[in-house]
């Protein structure tokens, strides 16, 4: 059976029945919990009274919320509560009674200072709870407990030094790859902990630092350095270990060729009408092509200068040769393949990038639009056993922030 495309209004999902209390802000944590929410988990996003700060990271905005927030906070319900006050922490305790997972990215020591430490308080009170902390540098070590940010982790782990050209110098990768990969690691770790809990019946604490995550995916540069002792150089779009694996000019748009072995290289030369390049002694093996990559690029572009890039890439892909024209973001989402795969979710004003996971039975999709701050607060509190009077008192005391219309409903 072929995988089912995600449904815009799913009835369930692979994680249906899982309840997650989400205290995270900014990107890594919200991205992780959105993945869980896309696949059926009930995500309660508990925000401070001022809200997740990325609600302000715009323009563009929709009704006061920035695209940065909107892009990673669908399929969640929002409750705004002040955890720095005892009454706010009591709300969290009530929510955790029915929760499977707690995810947070507070500075190390914050929850402990509030009397919410895992070993001392949470584990004894909620023995099946899985507590995931996303942090900058981890809780221990010379920089333990210090805040971390995507670009700082990129520059400190060598990422800048493998991205860019000799002319540009070390360059930040243009997407927040550390934050988002840390979010993916968090999801993987949480699912592992949930599987382990099925055997042991016990929850546990999991920490996923940005710094550790960034170091972990410095492949192949770390492997090359460990084996050779040589530091990587800035090579632009070229691969340090493979050639031809780079951008090349054509008569229209630049294209990227990713030719990973000698047989594919010979096939490429035949397809381009230059079989003599496959026999050129400078380019007989991948090792020789890497050594002579600049000469090979000159030879390749001399043959590509008359070819239309998009059509050429389609021809090469049909032959099993990895090739792609460099596209703008609008063209990428309008591509027939992206449309066929359901690459975006849309409802009313909302449009977002869909989950790439496709199951044969379990459905994913859009159940909740990104919530306004505190939009679901009264309903969440009622589910946790607070009556109308208690909710009104919490609102009056400034412990929770509720929209007036919901507080009256």
Which are the catalytic amino acids?
A: 179
Helices marked H in 326-369: 329-334, 336-340
Burial-class residue 47 by CB neighbours within 10 Å (0-12, 13-18, 19+). buried
Burial-class residue 91 by CB neighbours within 10 Å (0-12, 13-18, 19+). buried
Do 283 and 292 form a contact (C-beta atoms < 8 A)?
Answer: yes
Q: Give helix 28-38 / helix 177-200 axis angle, nearest 10°.
A: 50
Tokens at residue 238, please?
A: 């070229």
CA distances from 224 to 63, 159, 233, 395 (A): 49, 14, 11, 58
CA 104 to chain centre: 16
Q: Are strands 65-66 and 61-62 parallel, antiparallel or unpaired?
A: antiparallel
d(CA 303, CA 137): 49
Task: Verify cis geometry, omega within 30 degrees of 0, for the bond prior to 244.
Answer: yes
Burial 309-343, CB ≥16 within 10 A → b, else e: bbebbeebeeeebebbbeeeeeeeeeeeeeeeeee
**Number of neighbouring beta carbons within 10 Å of residue 199:** 7
114 contacts: CB under 8 Å, gap ≥ 6? 83, 84, 89
Q: Which of 404, 403, 384 is nearest to 91 (CA)?
A: 384
Q: Which of 92, 146, 82, 75 is nearest to 369 (CA)?
A: 75
Q: Which of 297, 164, 123, 151 is nearest to 211 (CA)?
A: 151
Handedness of CA 296, 297, 298, 304 (dihedral sign): positive
Place of tokens 């982790």: 153
Return the SS3 of 66.
strand
């Amino acid at each position: 059976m072929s995988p089912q495309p995600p449904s815009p209004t799913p009835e369930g999902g692979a994680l249906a029945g899982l309840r997650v209390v989400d205290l995270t802000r900014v990107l890594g944590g919200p991205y992780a919990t959105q993945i869980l929410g896309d696949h059926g988990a009930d995500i309660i996003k508990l925000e401070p009274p001022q809200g997740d700060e990325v609600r302000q990271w715009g323009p563009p905005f929709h009704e006061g919320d920035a695209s940065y927030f909107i892009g990673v906070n669908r399929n969640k319900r929002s409750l705004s509560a002040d955890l720095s006050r005892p009454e706010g922490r009591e709300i969290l305790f009530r929510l955790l009674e029915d929760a499977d997972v707690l995810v947070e990215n507070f500075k190390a020591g914050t929850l402990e200072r509030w009397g919410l430490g895992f070993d001392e308080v949470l584990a004894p009170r909620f023995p099946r709870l899985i507590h995931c902390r996303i942090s900058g540098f981890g809780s221990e070590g010379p920089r333990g407990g210090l805040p971390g940010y995507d670009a700082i982790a990129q520059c400190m782990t060598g990422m800048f030094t493998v991205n860019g050209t000799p002319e540009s110098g070390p360059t930040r990768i243009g997407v927040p790859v550390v934050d988002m990969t840390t979010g993916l690691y968090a999801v993987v770790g949480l699912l592992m902990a949930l599987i382990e809990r099925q055997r042991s019946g016990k929850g546990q604490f999991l920490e996923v630092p940005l710094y550790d995550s960034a170091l972990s995916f410095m492949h192949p540069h770390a492997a090359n350095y460990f084996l050779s002792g040589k530091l990587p150089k800035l090579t632009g779009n070229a691969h340090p270990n493979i050639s031809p694996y780079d951008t090349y000019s054509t008569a229209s748009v630049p294209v990227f060729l990713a030719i990973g072995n000698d047989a594919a290289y010979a096939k490429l030369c035949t397809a381009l009408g230059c079989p003599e390049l496959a026999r050129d002694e400078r380019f007989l093996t991948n090792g020789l092509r890497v050594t002579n990559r600049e000469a090979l690029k000159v030879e390749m572009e001399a043959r590509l200068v008359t070819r239309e890039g998009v059509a050429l890439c389609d021809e090469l892909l049909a032959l099993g040769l990895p090739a792609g024209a460099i596209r703008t973001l609008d063209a990428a989402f309008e591509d027939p393949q992206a449309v066929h795969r359901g690459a975006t979710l849309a409802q009313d004003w909302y449009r977002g990038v869909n989950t790439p996971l496709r199951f044969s039975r379990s459905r994913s999709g859009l159940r909740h639009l990104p919530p306004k701050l505190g939009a679901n607060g009264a309903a969440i509190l009622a589910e946790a056993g607070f009556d109308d009077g208690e909710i009104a008192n919490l609102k009056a005391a400034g412990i929770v922030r509720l929209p007036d219309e919901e507080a009256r409903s």
